[in-house]
A and B are shown apart, each in its own frame.
Chain A
Amino acid sequence: MITAFKRVVSNGSKNFFRSGAVSFATVLIMTVTMIIIGLLMFLSALLTYTLDAVQSKVDVSVYFTTNADEGTILNLKDKLVQLPQVADVTYTSRDQALQQFRERHASDQLTLNALDELGTNPLGASLAIRAKDPTQYQSIVDYVNNDADLSAGGTSMIDHINYEQNKGIINRLTSVINATEQAGLVIVIIFAIASTIITLATVRLAIYSSRDEIAVMRLVGASNAYIRGPFIVTGILGGVLSALIAMIVFAPVSWYVGTNLSAWLGGFNLFTYYMSHILEFAAVLFGSGFLLGSFASYLGVRRYLRA
C-alpha cells in the first residue's frame, strides 16, 4: 500500500516534469483561474470597503429648537447610543453650530453681518445619528419622534428631522447597495464556474493526449486506481504550482495598485489588504488549486478507464 502510494506520487511528478509543454499549458490556464479567484477576493474586499465607506457617510440629523434644554438632548443622545441599531451619535451644541456656521461663511461678509445684526444665536443644537444599517433609519426616527421627554412642556423641542428630506436618497442607496451585493455574488459564481470549466477542459485535453498510454497500462495489467493515481498527482502539482504563481504575481501587482491607485479606489490599499490577509489568500488559492487539479484529473481519466 505504502509502496503503491510512493510509486503513484513518484510517477505523477515524473510525468508532470517530463510532459513539459502539456504541463506548461495546464499550469498557464490554471494560473489564470487562480488569478481570477484571487481578483474576486480583492473585488469583494473592495466592494465591502466601499459600501462601508458610503454607509458611514449617511446619517440622520435631528435639529432642536433654540430653547431646547441641553440636558434633555444629551439624555436622548445617551438613550440613542444604547439602541442596538445605532452605530454612533454626534452632538453639536448651539455654540458649536454657530462656530461652524461662521467658518463655513468666513468669506461671506454679508451673511456674517446679518448674523451680527441679530445679536442672538439663531441656531439650535443638533444630533447626527448613524445607523448600523441604512434600513434602520425609519425606526430610529420613529423612536426620536415618540420620545416623551422632548415634548414635556407641551410643545416639541424638535425643530425638524432631515430624514424626510433624505429618505428618498437613503432608500435608493439601500437598494443600490443590496443590488451591488447580489450582482457581486452572481459575478463571483459565474466566474468561478467558467474558470472551473476551462480548467476541466484543459486537463481533459492533457489527459486525452495520454489515452493510448492509459490503454497500454490497462493491457499490462495495471489496476484502475494505479493508472488514475499518477494523473491525479500531476493535476495536484499543476494546481498547487498555479496557486503559488498567482500568489507571487499578486505581490508586485497589489503593491503597484496600492501605491498608485489607492486614492482612486476611495482610500482602499490593495497591498496592505493582501499582506494582512495573506494566509486567507494562501488557504483559498492552494485549496482550490489542489481540489481543482485532482477533480479535473479524476474526471479526465475516468472516461478512459471504462472497459
Chain B
Amino acid sequence: MITFDGVSKIYRDGTPALEDITATIQPKEFVSIVGHSGAGKTTLLKMLLAQEKPTSGTVMFQDVDVHALPNSALHHYRRKIGMVFQDFRLIPNKTAYENIAFAMEAAGRHDDEIASDVPYILNLVDLSTKANHFPNQLSGGEQQRVAIGRAIINQPDVIIADEPTGNLDPINTYEVVEILKKVNELGTTVIITTHNKGVVDAMGKRVITMDRGRIVRDDPQGQYIL
C-alpha cells in the first residue's frame, strides 16, 4: 500500500535527514516509528504527505508516485490520509463540531451526510457533550480527540499520527491510543511516531526504529528499544 523505495533527503547545507529508506507498509497495519529526536521520523511522514520532496528515491501510495502529483491534485490525495499532530492543529475559531465538519465540507460531502456523520464521530471520540466548544475551551486530551475525529471522518485509507500523545498526560494518552487501536481494528492503516515506550510496548505491533536518518530495526511485533 505504501512503499518507500531508497528514499534519501539531504538538505542544502549537506545534512542528511533521511538515508536510503526502504520499507513497505501493508493495508490495515499498525506501525509505530520510534527514535530519538532528529532521527528523521517526522521527515519521513512529511515525505508521505508530499510536504517535502525526497532528494532521491520514490514514495508510492497505492501505485501512485506521490511526488509526481501536480499541486492541483494534492488536495485530492491528502483526503485519503488522516493527519493527527502533537500540537492538535485545530482551527481556533471553529467549534469541535465545525472542525470535524470542515474536513467533510472540504471534501465536498453533502449537508445531510455531515449532519449524520459528525455526531457519530463525536460520540466515537466521546465528545458529544462538547460539540459546540471552541478549541480553547477544551483540554489537551479533548482537543486531540477532536483532531482524531477530524482525521477519520472521511474514512481515509491511512491515519498518520505524529507524536499524538506528546502533549498529553497518561490518562489522555491511554484514551487516544485506545481510539487509534479501535480505528485500526475497523480496517484503517495507522502509522504513528512516538517517544512513549509504554504506548509502543503495550501495543505489541510492528515497530520501525530509526536513528540518524536510517532504519536500524524493523520488528513485526516489536518493543521500544533505543
Contact = CB atoms under 8 A, between A and B. Distances in A.
Interface in B101-119: 102-103, 105-108, 110-111
Interface in A206-262: 212-213, 215-224, 226
Interface string B84-116: 000001111110000000110111101100000
Contacts of A215: 89
B49 interface: yes
Q: Which residue among A11, A217, A218, A219 has the maximum number of chain B CB atoms within 10 Å of its CB?
A: A219
Given A18-B93, A213-B91, A221 B105 contact: no
B108 A4 contact: yes
A118 interface: no
Contacts of B79: 220-221
B78 A217 contact: no
Nearest to A20: B93
Most buried by A among B75, B79, B102: B75
Nearest to B108: A4
Contacts of B106: 217, 220-223, 226
B154 interface: yes
A221 B103 contact: yes
A220 B111 contact: no
Contacts of A15: 93
Contact of B78 (A4, A213, A220): A220
Contacts of B92: 213
A113 interface: no
Contacts of A223: 75, 106
A219 B83 contact: yes
A217 B91 contact: yes
Interface residues of A, number: 22
A212 B89 contact: yes
Contacts of A226: 105-106
B12 interface: no
A60 B90 CA distance: 78
A224 B75 contact: yes
A212 to B, nearest CB: 7
A216 B103 CA distance: 10
Contact of B74 (A7, A19, A213, A307): A307
Contacts of B78: 218-221
B77 to A, nearest CB: 8
A221 B49 CA distance: 11
26 contacts: A3-B111, A4-B108, A7-B105, A15-B93, A213-B91, A213-B93, A215-B89, A216-B89, A216-B90, A217-B91, A217-B106, A218-B74, A218-B75, A219-B49, A219-B83, A220-B79, A220-B102, A220-B103, A220-B106, A220-B150, A221-B75, A221-B79, A221-B154, A222-B75, A223-B106, A307-B71
Interface of A: 3-4, 7, 11, 14-15, 18-19, 212-213, 215-224, 226, 307
Interface of B: 49, 71, 74-76, 78-79, 83, 89-94, 102-103, 105-108, 110-111, 150, 154
